[in-house]
Amino acid sequence: MKKMILPVMLLLIVFICSPLQAGAAEQYSIERVTGNVYRFINDRHRSVFLVTKNGILITDPMNREAATWLNNEIRKRFKLPVRYVIYSHNHSDHVYGGSVFKDARTVFISSSLARQDLKITHADTVLPDITFQRKMSVFLGENRIELRYHGPNDGRGSISMLFQPEKVLYVVDWIVVGRMPWRKLWSYDIQGMINSTRDILTLDFDTFVGGHGDIGTKADVREYLAYLEDLYSAVIGGIRAGKTLDQLKKEIRLPRYSRLRHYKEWLPMNIEGVYERLMEESGMGWRPKRQH
For residue range 90-134, what is the model confidence (pLDDT) as tens digits?
A: 999 999 999 999 999 999 999 999 999 999 999 999 999 999 999
Query: How many helices (H) and strands (E) are present in the chain, helices listed first?
Result: 8, 13
Is the previous residue joined to 165 through a cis bond, with omega within 30 degrees of 0? yes
pLDDT at 20: 40
Q: At what angle do helices 263-280 and 218-240 cross, to 10 degrees?
A: 60
Question: With contact defined as beta carbons under 8 Å apart, do 48 and 132 qualify?
Answer: no
Q: Alpha helix locations (H) across 121-280? A: 190-200, 218-240, 245-251, 263-280
> What distance in Å separates the CA atoms of residue 176 and residue 192, rounded to the nearest whole number?
15
Count of other CB atoms within 10 angstroms of residue 156? 18
Helix/strand/coil for 40:
strand
Which stretches of the chain score pLDDT less than 50?
Answer: 2, 4-23, 292
- Using DSSP's 3-state secondary structure scheme, residue 154 falls into strand
Going by their DSSP bridges, the two strands 135-140 and 130-132 should be labelled as unpaired
**Torsion over CA: 253, 254, 255, 257 (sign):** negative
Tell me, what's the pLDDT at 283?
A: 84
The reported pLDDT for the residue numbered 292 is 46
Statement: the pTM of the whole predicted model exceeds 0.85: yes
> Do the beta carbons of residue 69 and residue 28 sit within 8 Å?
yes
By C-alpha distance, which of 173, 208, 202 is closest to 189? 173
Residue 21 pLDDT: 46
**pLDDT value, residue 15:** 42
Q: Which residues contact 233 (CB under 8 A, 6 or more apart)?
A: none
- The tens digit of pLDDT for each residue in 216-234 reads 999 999 999 999 999 999 9
What are the chain's domains?
Answer: 28-173 (3.60.15.10)
